[in-house]
Structure 1
Amino acid sequence: MILTVTPNPSLDRTYEVPALDRGEVLRAAADRLDPGGKGVNVSRAVAAAGRRTTAVLPLGGPSGAVMAELLGGLGIDVTAVTIAGQTRANIAVAEPDGTLTKINARGPELTPAEADLLLATVRGQAAGADWIACCGSLPRGLPPEWYAELVSEVHRAGARVALDTSGPALPAALAARPDVVKPNTRELAEAVGRPLTTLGEAVDAARELRERGARAVLASLGADGQLLVGPEGVHHGTAPAPAVRSNVGAGDAALAGFLVAGGSGPEALTAALAHGAAAVQLPGSLMPTPADLRPGAVRLTRDPVPDLPLTEPAAIRPGS
């Protein structure tokens, strides 16, 4: 069973438009409303794969009630921590060429009592889980060290932890030794404090995160595929995606595929690539089913060529 923790969930409304013209009245060709947040998306992808999953998340207000209803309709067990604030709602605008414009709301501020209750709820559920995926940004009210405390609590309960977050929360959690961390190229660059322009530099950065405590690093490299650096060595893979419709939740689908396939080694990386490639070809944040997957199209390489340039180099933002 895969349990997910999403401290800052959202309702995600996605509109598909012919073009995004500022100042104009646009008519959407299609729109979707999905329960969102990185951990929620992982649960949705796990459920779409026919596996059991529980989503732990703080919910509040009418949007929180809609979130719980949508997740229940997808066959996901929901363990909600009731909060006084309102669950946020995000908007995404998708264009035919795959360009995505997102507006993410700040979300509610959790009180100290709500933060403690969320941690205690995860602790109470951890013993029955094979993997716990802790994903997404931290809401206001939770310090950057909150994920580190959560990882330690989960390990004491005997479960494995996959962590997908960014900003100060990622380096703060490394000392707690998460079993897998899943940064994208930009998050990986920011975690090590230097730009990444080649595959070799990405490998070196992933190795540095392992030296700082992560047991394995699964890095999403955008158009350059995914990179796995762990006890089994270094593996890089790509998967074709002929028609990109939306990349919302694609990285979350990849993490779900990785965990469903065992969470380690090249077979799990293959599953992650197949899930990610399938997800970008679906509208909104729709998650792939087994019928959407093409694992035979995945191409893996062990110890990839280090000087291969990244299609989308990762710079360091000012102040990072």
Structure 2
Amino acid sequence: MIVTVTPNPSLDRTYEVPALDHGEVVRATGERVDPGGKGVNVSRAVAAAGRRTVAVLPLGGAPGALVADLLHAQGIEVAPVPVAGATRSNIALAESDGVLTKINAPGPELSAEEQEALLETVRRRSRGADWIACCGSLPRGLAPSWYADLVARAHAAGVRIALDTSGPALTAALREGPDVVKPNAEELAGAVGRPLATVGDALKAAEELRGLGARAVLASLGADGQLLVDGAGAWFGSARVRAVRSNVGAGDSSLAGFLIADGTGPDALASAVAHGAAAVQLPGSVMPTPDDLDPAAVVVTAEVPVDRPLTEPVP
């Protein structure tokens, strides 16, 4: 069972458009409304794989009620923490060439009482969990050390914890030794404070995060693939993709794939790559089911191509 924690969830509207012309009326060819937030997406991907998941998240107002209803409809157990502010609403514009434009609202500010209620709900609902996945940005009111506190509490309870966040929240949490962190290339570069031009640069940055406390690093490198670095070594995984339709939630799907494969070693990396590759070929933030996966298209190797330039280098 996988518990997800999404401190700043959202109601996400995704519009598919032929092209985004600034200042013009753009007619959408498709529309979806989904519960959003990185941890929510992990729960959706875990549920789509037929596994049990509990989504812990603060919810408020009409958007929060709709998020809960949408999650229940997908067979996800919801552990809501009522808050005074309304859950944020986000908009994503997915162009036919795969370019995605996102508009993310800031979300409500959580009071001290609401913050503690969120931590207590995680503690209560994570008994017997295989993993806790803490994902996304922190809402207003939560200090950068909030995730670090959660990692420490999880380890004290004997539960493994995965962390997908960035900036000061990631840096603060590293000292508590999260079992796996999942940055993308931009977040990885930000964490080490230098640009990434090659897979080798990403490998060195991941090793540096391990030196700062992370027990494993699962790095998403966009179209180039994914990199896993842990105490046993390093592996690189990639997959053939026919056509990219939307990359919304692809990284979250990858993390779900990694965790449901026990979150350790090259087999878990292969599952992560398969889930991520399947997700980008689906509309909006649709999460892949087992029927969408193509394990035969995945290649995982311990021979990391350190000299390979990144398709999208991080300056």
With structure 2 as the length reference, what TM-score do the two structures score?
A: 0.99
Matches of 1:21 and 1:203 in 2, distance apart?
Answer: 38
Residues 12 and 90, structure 1, Cα contact 8 Å, conserved in 2? yes
The letter for the 2-side match of 1:139 is: P
Amino acid paired to 1:120: E
Give the match for residue 208 of structure 1: 208
The amino acid across from 1:19 in the alignment is A
Asked if 1:284 is matched to 2:278, the reply is no
Q: Letter of the aligned partner of 1:210 in structure 2?
A: R
Deviates most, 195-204 or 219-228 = 195-204
Stretch of structure 1 that moved more, 47-56 or 22-31:
22-31
Matches within 5 A, 1:17-32: 17-32=17-32
Letter in 1 for 2:246: S
1:222 maps to which residue? 222
CA RMSD across the alignment: 0.7
Take 2:222 and 2:305, find their aligned partners in 1: how far apart are those partners?
A: 17
* Equivalent residue number for residue 158 of structure 2: 158
Give distance in 2, aligned partners of 1:294 and 1:235.
19
Query: 2:77 aligns to what?
Result: 77
Structure 2: how far apart are the matches of 1:96 and 1:89?
Answer: 23
Could you report, residue by residue, the CA deviation over 1:4-26 in whole angstroms, capped at 9, with x for unpaired residues?
00000001100011111111111
Query: Alpha-carbon deviation of 1:187?
Result: 0.3
Which runs of 5 or more structure 1 residues have no equivalent in the other structure? 316-320
3-state SS of paired residue (2:33) = strand
Specify the alignment match of 2:43 in structure 1. Answer: 43
How big is each residue's C-alpha offset from its partner over 1:127-158, in whole Å with a ceiling of 9 and x where there is no partner?
22100000000000000000000000011111
The answer to whether 1:143 aligns with 2:163 is no
- 1:246 and 1:106 map into 2 onto residues whose CA distance is 23
Q: Residue by residue, what CA displacement relative to the aligned partner does 1:165-200 show, whole Å, maximum 9, x if unpaired? A: 011100110000000000000100110111111111
Match of 1:107 in 2: 107
Amino acid at match of 1:41: N
User: Distance in 1 between the 2:305 and 2:128 partners?
Assistant: 41
Deviation at 1:232, TM superposition (A): 2.4
Runs of 4+ in 1 over 6 A off after TM superposition: none
Counterpart amino acid of residue 197 in structure 1: A
**Which residue of 2 is the match for residue 8 of structure 1?**
8
State the alpha-carbon separation in 1 of the partners of residues 290 and 201 from structure 2.
34
After TM superposition, give the deviation of residue 308 of structure 1 in Å.
1.6
| Whole-angstrom CA distance in 2 between matches of 1:78 and 1:305 | 41
Aligned-partner Cα distance in 1 for 2:23–2:10: 26
Deviation at 1:305, TM superposition (A): 2.7
Name the SS for the 2:122 alignment partner.
Answer: helix
Equivalent AA in structure 2 for residue 183 of structure 1: P
Residue 81 of structure 1 aligns to a residue in which SS? strand
Which deviates further from its counterpart, 188-197 or 296-305?
296-305
Residue 194 of structure 2 is aligned to residue 197 of structure 1: no
- TM alignment of 1:225-240, pairs within 5 A: 225-240=225-240
Could you tell me which amino acid in structure 2 is paired with residue 129 of structure 1?
A: A
Give unpaired runs (5+ residues) of structure 2.
none
- 1:141 maps to a residue whose letter is G
**Contact kept in structure 2, 1:127 and 1:158, CA below 8 Å:** no
Structure 1 window deviating more from structure 2 (194-203 vs 131-140): it is 194-203
**2:275 counterpart SS class:** helix
How many residues in Structure 1 have an aligned counterpart in Structure 2? Answer: 315
Structure 2 CA distance, aligned partners of 1:100 and 1:199?
A: 24
Q: Give the distance between the partners of 2:213 and 2:63, measured in 1 at CA.
A: 37
Q: What is the alpha-carbon distance in structure 1 between the residues aligned to residue 150 and residue 248 of structure 2?
A: 26
Amino acid at match of 2:269: L
Equivalent residue for 1:243? Answer: 243
**Partner deviation per Cα, 1:192-229 (whole Å, 9 max, x = no partner):** 11111111111111011001100000000001100000
Aligned residue for 1:266?
266
Amino acid at match of 1:31: E
